[in-house]
Chains A and B, each alone.
Chain A
Amino acid sequence: MSTNALSQHYAEQVQRVQDGLPGAIPEWLAGRRRGAAARFSEAGFPDPRQEEWKYTNVRPIATKPFMAAVTDAPLSEEALRAMGFQGLDAYRMVFVDGRLRTEFSDLADLPAGVTVQGLADALASDPDPLEPLLGTLAHDRFSSFAAANMAFLTDGAVIRLGKGVRLERPLHLLMVGSAGGPATWSHPRVLIQAGEGSDATVIEHYADLEGASGFTNTVTELRAEAGAQLRHYLLQDHADSAYHVGSVFVQQRRDSRVTSHNVNLGGRLVRHDLNVDLTEPGAEIELNGLFLVGGRQHVDTHTRVHHSSPHTTSREQYRGIGQGHGRGVFKGRVLVERGAQKTDAQQHSANLLLSPNAEIDTKPELEIYADDVKCAHGATVGQLDETSMYYLRSRGIDAEAARGMLVFAFADEVLERMELAPVRTSIERRLAARLPEAGAIDVIG
């Protein structure tokens, strides 16, 4: 489609959404959406001339006239089970093409002090409490994708944990793509407000029904108040023909602790940004990431950890595996502000290339403006260790199985940090299934 026709198309889409906003939209929200729509229209999709998009050409996305997906696709319990995590006892919210489907959701027995709602419901019934939460961490100036998410916002999840509340079971947000057309998009938004001293696990999980090939454009805003403990899983297991762009924004206050597990297995073209701001002393984040790219997949992961207060800690371990013609990117920025003394930041990126046609770029960036800090980073890109291969083979294990064991072990060093065993096991199996040479891996071993 020509550039003019595309601009026309998106102008109409914006108008349609504005006209269709549910109920009496408060002015703060209408204003934010108008602003976002204007920014999206003006900036358009990013291009590789922009430093932040140097490794990722979004042309396959930017040349399509995306429209909202039809949301009443049928969905069977069986299909949900296949996508889910066997043995996981969790609260569940299921979204199809970005829309909450309450009939598949299970939020029974939430403890007092915990609110879990669909975003569309929350906006329709009582929008004002969302004013400080929605769009305040994720500025749409961040990227035109974030702007598009705000402009085309339809639904999502709102999770609010009151002071001192502990959510014993994890909350599983299953975001299912069902649309078969190549030009449908959805814009889920997840808002998490973890109150003082609260404790919870939230699994944000993207998957597709067979044949789905849409574009999912997500934004997550997560606030951890003083002393909150939050474990956030972001698992992207889309169909290989799907597009996914997502940003997570994390803001942490005093003595809060957040653990992020970010796994990218599927998707044709994937970009993920994780932005963390450690704003008060004692805030601590652990970032664990894994991506696997094969076939013609392209996965670009960026992390930015902002130590804006003294005595803050970050531990980051990202791993990438490239096979086939896969292309992976890790760009990790750690910024230590002037005055953020006693910052302790460690970042490590390790990458494994299994095919001569795969490519992984890793780019750690440390920017330090304080003088009393402990910061370390390392990045490697390599092939399987020949000595390890020989050692395993010398024990009678054939080359193929040995390769599988080593690749799996490499990935598992990240996955084993997941506290939820059913999720870990399921991801291990899905990973093994995507490694042709590791098909025979006994995950239990």
Chain B
Amino acid sequence: MLKINNLQARVEAAEILKGIDLEVKAGEVHAIMGPNGSGKSTLCQVLGGRDGYEVTGGTVEFMGKDLFELEPEERAREGILLGFQYPVEIPGVKNIYLLKEAYNAQRKHRGEPEADTFQFLKLVREKLKTMQMDESFLHRAVNVGFSGGEKKRNEILQMLVLEPKLALLDETDSGLDIDALKVVSEGVNRLRSPDRAIVLVTHYQRLLSHIEPDFVHVLSGGRIIKSGDKTLAHELERNGYQGIIEEAA
């Protein structure tokens, strides 16, 4: 599904990604872990297509297409959805409106008829329940006045509605208390399916005790320095990043 080959990127003058190789197949859950400044967020933004993140080398293929040929909205419609570390507040745009526009943009892209308000509401109500969100959230401006936990739940709500092929979650666990973490994890687990891949980018192991990954990768200094199964996360928990970084050096 996703093939990253020797990806290098910089932000302004700073080289951040120095050659990343990663392959993600349908049905898999990958965790990318790493200390602050290792390049985790840069990797997410490069895959999302954000301005200011310059790809200087390597390739990324998604479902056989060159990702860098696609605008951010095209990537989303092809099925990559990025859950933001800091979901953006958009005053004046109602949550329901954003969801519906995004949902219909995708349907239109696939040549399917757009959903009417009634059909759409029915779909969203069900997803709201999973995320333990009140219906009033739909009529509030996107993320405006939401608590940290509510913002993250809102990100996962979008995932549940848009059903991406690849869900890319950037530090979705940061700023969550234990109850919110459970709800968010429950939402992500609902996304698990044989034809969908999930990539969790996180600093901490605790998310992985709720969402069990198939693969764990350690990112440091802009490279994946070690990959393994879920036991690698436990090792990190015991020894910290420093141990692995030294071992790899």
Measured CB to CB, the residues of A under 8 A from B are 386-388, 390-399, 401-402, 405-406, 408-410, 412-413, 442, 445
CB <8 Å contact, A409 and B109: no
Is B124's CB within 8 Å of the partner chain A?
no
CB <8 Å contact, A445 and B100: yes
Instruction: Flag the segment in B68-76, B201-209, B235-243 that touches A.
Output: B68-76
Q: Smallest CB–CB gap between B46 and chain A, Å? A: 13
- In the bound complex, how far is the Cα of B229 from the Cα of A252, in angstroms? 74
Chain A residues with Cβ under 8 A from B158's Cβ?
395
CB <8 Å contact, B72 and A393: yes
CB <8 Å contact, B101 and A406: no
CB <8 Å contact, B77 and A396: yes
Is B162's CB within 8 Å of the partner chain A?
yes
CB <8 Å contact, A397 and B50: no
Is B111's CB within 8 Å of the partner chain A?
no
Given contacts A391-B84, A409-B92, contact A397 B51 (CB under 8 A): no
Chain A residues with Cβ under 8 A from B211's Cβ?
none
Given contacts A391-B84, A391-B90, contact A397 B73 (CB under 8 A): yes
Q: Mark B97-111 against chain A: 1 for CB-CB distance below 8 A, else 0.
A: 110111001100100
CB <8 Å contact, B88 and A387: yes
CB <8 Å contact, A445 and B94: yes
CB <8 Å contact, A409 and B90: yes
Complex: chain B residue closest to A410, CB-CB: B92
B interface, how many residues as a size bin?
Answer: 20 to 34
CB <8 Å contact, A390 and B72: yes
Given contacts A399-B71, A409-B90, 4 further A-B contacts (CB under 8 A): A388-B88, A391-B84, A392-B93, A396-B109
Chain A residues with Cβ under 8 A from B105's Cβ?
395-398, 401
8 Å CB contacts to A: which residues of B169-210? none
CB <8 Å contact, A399 and B93: no
Q: Smallest CB–CB gap between A300 and chain B, Å? A: 25
CB <8 Å contact, B162 and A396: yes
Is B219's CB within 8 Å of the partner chain A?
no
- In the bound complex, how far is the Cα of B71 from the Cα of A398, in angstroms? 9
Is B82's CB within 8 Å of the partner chain A?
yes
Chain B residues with Cβ under 8 A from A442's Cβ?
97
Out of B77, B88, B92, B141, name the residue touching A391 (CB < 8 Å).
B88
Measured CB to CB, the residues of B under 8 A from A are 48-51, 71-73, 75-77, 81-82, 84, 87-88, 90-94, 96-98, 100-102, 105-106, 109, 141, 158, 162
Chain A residues with Cβ under 8 A from B96's Cβ?
445
Could you list some 9 contacts between A and B, CB below 8 A? Answer: A387-B88, A390-B72, A391-B88, A393-B72, A394-B48, A396-B105, A396-B162, A397-B102, A413-B91
Q: Smallest CB–CB gap between A401 and chain B, Å? A: 7
Complex: chain A residue closest to B141, CB-CB: A409
Given contacts A386-B51, A388-B88, A390-B50, contact A395 B93 (CB under 8 A): no
CB <8 Å contact, B72 and A406: no
Given contacts A386-B51, A390-B50, contact A405 B93 (CB under 8 A): yes
- In the bound complex, how far is the Cα of B81 from the Cα of A402, in angstroms? 17
CB <8 Å contact, B51 and A390: yes
Q: Smallest CB–CB gap between A70 and chain B, Å? A: 44
Q: Which 7 A-B pairs have the closest CB atoms?
A: A409-B92, A396-B76, A445-B97, A391-B88, A395-B102, A393-B72, A396-B105
Chain B residues with Cβ under 8 A from A387's Cβ?
88
- In the bound complex, how far is the Cα of B120 from the Cα of A71, in angstroms? 52
- In the bound complex, how far is the Cα of B138 from the Cα of A405, in angstroms? 16
Q: Could you say which of A386, A397, A442 has the most chain B C-beta atoms within 10 Å of its C-beta?
A: A397
Q: Could you say which of A393, A395, A398, A408 has the most chain B C-beta atoms within 10 Å of its C-beta?
A: A395
- In the bound complex, how far is the Cα of B75 from the Cα of A394, in angstroms? 8
Chain A residues with Cβ under 8 A from B77's Cβ?
396
Q: Could you say which of A386, A393, A401 has the most chain B C-beta atoms within 10 Å of its C-beta?
A: A393
Q: Could you say which of A392, A405, A408, A409 has the most chain B C-beta atoms within 10 Å of its C-beta?
A: A392
CB <8 Å contact, B106 and A396: yes
